[in-house]
Amino acid sequence: MKRKIDQTLLELWLGILAYGVVFEIALLFFSRNLSYSIGLWIGVFLAVAGAFHMWWSLDRGLDLPEKEAVKSMGAQNIMRYVALVVILGVLMYTKFANPILAFCGYMGMKVSAYLNPLIHRILYFITCRRR
């Protein structure tokens, strides 16, 4: 069954991307090291992908019986964090990008979640003004 992506997920993605842009502007102000910017945007991409995976696993888990849902959600959370650790490990090993800034980019998901009510109000204001 094909489902429509939730409005909250879209708002979360907008918050993550806005966080990335603001962080990049600050980063460019203090340092022009390319590996820092690459690390940041890898983290932002991981945050967007992690938010989608979280939405998908919650949506799927809510259709399951309680015991299966708990197992499924636990397994999905572990998969998400293992993927993050592996990618950060690869960044540390290859020195392609800064893993600390990749982690900072991933934390954009947390910042966006806290700012979600503000983002929701802004989008509501914009859409109401266009009508």
- Residue 28 token pair: 């460019």
CA–CA separation, 97 and 93 (whole Å): 10
Check residue 63 and report its DSSP letter.
T
For residue 1, name the pLDDT band (cuts at 50, 70, 90): very low
Of 88, 14, 21, nearest to 51 by C-alpha is 14
CA–CA separation, 129 and 19 (whole Å): 25
Instruction: Say what the pTM is.
Output: 0.87
pLDDT digits (tens, 9 = 90+) for 71-111: 999 999 999 999 999 999 999 999 899 999 999 999 999 99
Give Cα 99 distance to the centre of its chain: 16
For residue 78, the model assigns a pLDDT of 95
State the distance between the two ends of the chain, measured CA to CA, in whole angstroms.
32
Task: Output the CA torsion 57→86→20→41 (10° steps).
Answer: -120
